[in-house]
Amino acid sequence: MQKTNTQSITITPDELFNHWQGHRRLTRKVIEAFPEDKLFTHSIGGMRPFSELAMEMITIAGPGVLGMVSGEWKNFDEVESEFTKKKPTTKKELLNLWDSITETIDEAWPKIKEGRFQESELVFETYEGKIWSHLFYFIDNEIHHRGQGYVYLRSLDIEPPYFWER
């Protein structure tokens, strides 16, 4: 494609913050929509139950935003095993952990330095790319797995929350 309007603003940092937290609010509603037992057990085609998918989102988002601020990243397996130690076993615990990550993001976001999104960095000792591309991956991965949660809910005859309600 032709190069064009390269410096034109697409989405501002504030808009990106609200976009992310909006998606996270919707995912929280999906967690809430699951019956307590199905949240931890229901599966289709050998896939992980929704609690596990939510734990992945939590593990990425919390350490992810802190790394975006500090430039310091642990190996993802290490981060994951830390979260596994405090793995919630009830919906309430999972929602509490979710909410604590929401606060982490609220507090960390304003500390992200000017120009940071266009810096390239190796994150979680695994993925190289610009900071925006990592954040987009975090968000996209959440949308992807949440979409799977919608199928789980439908298969349980439960109406999921509206996709556009953030």
To a second copy, the closest distance from the beta carbon of 162 in angstroms equals 12
As a whole number of angstroms, the distance between CA 138 and CA 61 comes to: 7
To a second copy, the closest distance from the beta carbon of 102 in angstroms equals 11
> Nearer Cβ to a second copy, position 45 or 72?
45
To a second copy, the closest distance from the beta carbon of 101 in angstroms equals 15
> Nearer Cβ to a second copy, position 12 or 89?
12
To a second copy, the closest distance from the beta carbon of 46 in angstroms equals 6
To a second copy, the closest distance from the beta carbon of 95 in angstroms equals 21
Q: What per-residue string of b and e applies to 14-51 under the rule 16 or more CB within 10 Å gives b? A: eebbeebeebbebbbebbebbeeebbbebeeeeeebbb
As a whole number of angstroms, the distance between CA 127 and CA 110 comes to: 24
> Nearer Cβ to a second copy, position 50 or 98?
50
Going from the C-alpha of 73 to that of each of 64, 77, 158, the distances in angstroms are: 8, 11, 39
> Nearer Cβ to a second copy, position 15 or 93?
15
> Nearer Cβ to a second copy, position 89 or 164?
164
> What angle (nearest 5°) sits at the alpha carbon of residue 101, between those of residues 95 and 107?
140
As a whole number of angstroms, the distance between CA 92 and CA 143 comes to: 22
Q: Which residues bind a second copy (CB under 8 A)?
A: 1-17, 19, 23, 44-47, 106, 109-110, 112-118, 130, 132-133, 136-137, 140-141, 143-148, 150-157, 163-164
- Give the 3-state secondary structure of residue 120: strand
